[in-house]
Amino acid sequence: MSHLPLTASLTPDVSPAVTPSVTPTPPEAPVLVRPRVHGAAGQPTLLISLGTAVVLLALWWLASRSGLVSKLFLPSPAEVVSTGLNLLADGYANATLAEHVGASLGRIGLAALIATGLGIPLGLLMGLNRWVKGILDTPIEFYWPLPPLAYLPLMIIWLGIGEASKVTLLTLAMFAPIALSAQAGVRALPIERVQAAQALGATSLQLFRHIVLPSALPEILTGLRIALGVGWSTLVAAELIAAQRGIGHMVLSASHFLATDVVFVGIGVIALCAFAFSWGMRVLERLLVPWKGKS
């Protein structure tokens, strides 16, 4: 009997393993997760605003149409529009509607130029120099909380009932928010920017032009926007008291004769002008300070 070698009988039969083919799967596309926005920032509201305006006009039309309120006190929207078109051609209170609006815009424009020309430089100086701040801060803080109409009688006593008293009143009303906003813009300037510019060898003029002024510009534009709102409301109120031409004068004259439709036209023109001012300042902010609100 022949015997096989022990090593051969104990060696297992090893065959090469067959690896199954695996088809690679493509990577999944990344899922973009949009972060939740806090509040109403960045969310469109145009349709909501238009819908609200339509509802208000419908309620106005229903109230006047149904007879719940006399037309003497609440004319219909169609009557107000018709009256406005007539005022454009025939006018009211010895002037056309365009002349009344032009007189009011001329006063607010002149006062805005004076207040801006004085308020921005003095406000910047108040933020840069403690002596200027100490001198101007007291009178500004004294008269700024006062309603402008409180010192209108004093303006009339000093300057008369003409244009000088109204322009001076508007200039005072608009100067304070512009100057205080310019000062706040300088005070909010990060000291790191100033130190970095000084370390790079910037002169005082370069520091003011490239660091101080651009940093204070958003606050200055905010102050201008506030000043226009304050000045416009002050102008209309002043024209109710002392004026021969202007939107406020037209509204006051119409109220004496119960011409409610003319009063509504005046109120609408006042609101449209205020909206135009606000829209114009927003456009100016987007052009001059596009970085505002994006930091």
CB-CB contact of 222 with 181 (8 Å): yes
Domain borders along the chain are 59-288
- Asked whether the beta carbons of 144 and 199 are under 8 A apart, the reply is no
Contact (Cβ atoms closer than 8 angstroms) between residue 210 and residue 197:
yes
The three-class DSSP label of residue 131 is helix
What lies within 8 Å, CB to CB, of 97 at 6+ separation is 84, 87, 88, 91, 250, 265, 269
* 205-259 pLDDT tens trace: 888 888 888 888 999 999 999 999 999 989 888 887 777 889 988 998 998 888 9
Contact 236, 169 (CB under 8 A): no
DSSP tag of 293: T
Confirm if 210 and 180 have CB atoms less than 8 A apart.
Answer: no
| Amino acid, res. 205 | L
Half-sphere exposure of 122 (CA within 13 A, CB side): 18
- Which tokens is 52 given? 């609200």
Whole-number Å distance between alpha carbons of 168 and 171? 5
Which amino acid belongs to residue 16? P
State how far the alpha carbon of 79 is from the alpha carbons of 53, 71, 200, 258, in Å.
18, 10, 67, 15
CATH number for 59-288 (one of 1.10.287.3510, 3.40.605.10, 1.20.1250.20, 1.10.3720.10): it is 1.10.3720.10
Q: Which pLDDT tens digit goes with each residue over 72-124?
A: 888 988 999 999 999 988 888 888 899 999 999 999 999 999 999 999 999 99
Model confidence band, residue 184 (pLDDT cutoffs 50, 70, 90): very high
CB 149 within 8 A of CB 238: yes
What average pLDDT score do residues 176-192 get?
Answer: 90
Q: In degrees, to the nearest 5, what angle opens at C-alpha 204 toward C-alphas 203 and 206?
A: 65
Please report where in the chains the tokens 């972060």 appear, as a residue: 35
| pLDDT 10s digits, 35-54 | 565 555 557 777 888 899 89
Residue 35 has a pLDDT of 59
User: Contact 242/161 with Cβ under 8 angstroms?
Assistant: yes
Burial of 265 (0-12, 13-18, 19+ CB in 10 A): buried
Pairwise pLDDT comparison (7 vs 72), residue with the higher score = 72
CA dihedral 186, 208, 112, 173 (to 10 degrees): 30
C-alpha closest to that of 167 among 244, 95, 105, 256: 105
Q: pTM to 2 decimals? A: 0.78
User: Distance between CA 229 and CA 225 in Å, rounded?
Assistant: 7
Q: Is the pLDDT of residue 34 over 90?
A: no
pLDDT at 12 exceeding the cut of 60: no
Buried b (16+ CB within 10 A) or exposed e, 67-104: eeeeeeebbbeebbeebbeebeeeebbebbbeebbebb
163: left (phi over 0), alpha (psi -120 to 50) or beta: alpha
